Amino acid sequence: VTLLKDATQRQMEKEIGRFGKSLRDGGVGLFFYAGHGMQVNGTNYLIPIGANIEAEEDIKFESVDANRILAKMEAAGNDLNMVFLDACRNNPFARSFRSSNKGLAQMDAPKGSFVSFATAPGSVAADGDGRNGLFTGQLIKYMQTPELPLTRMMMEVRKGVLRESEDKQTPWDVSSLTG
């Protein structure tokens, strides 16, 4: 387990590289991100601490492409990988961006992968009132249920978020699980 809090772009990229190497040993890969994220031209980016984003063209140089995580998982070739992204927020740089895409874009899940988003593609997630967003709060609640299969757990998470958000936020996932 590697924990990064308030990480810079360089720290994030370095740890994602280490993560990819450790997956080659086999087992299950799990990547969880709670923080700011946005899409530009259909690509999702995770925004690190200290990102200097003044215009749309800065995003790919100042943040981390979320596809980098999936690429590391795919290259490892292990049987099961999971990605949870609680990162769908309004674009704080919208005035200086040409595109006005909200939330994160749909992502493909490589074979044996499960990717879960705090809300549907193109939608915005609520931050929540407590320490965690609505999605992360529900995820923490249901992941502690013994013997609950992943797909069933995510249905319970989705129902909980829908209930708490008064049907304004629907967690979304994409899967290519084979077992």
Residue 127 pLDDT greater than 90, yes or no? no
Region of 85 please: left (phi>0), alpha (psi -120 to 50) or beta: beta
The pLDDT of residue 54 is 87
pTM attached to this predicted model: 0.89
pLDDT at position 102, please? 64
Percentage of the chain modeled with pLDDT above 90: 63
Q: Which residues pair with 172 in a beta bridge?
A: 117
Helix ranges, 3-133 (H) = 9-23, 59-62, 67-76
Q: What is the pLDDT of residue 125?
A: 76
pLDDT value at position 87? 87
pLDDT tens-digit series, residues 73-121: 999 988 899 999 998 665 555 555 555 556 677 777 888 899 999 988 7
Quickly tell me which residue has 């008064």 as its tokens.
166
pLDDT tens profile 154-177: 999 999 999 999 999 999 999 999
Residue 88: predicted pLDDT: 67
SS3 category, 172: strand
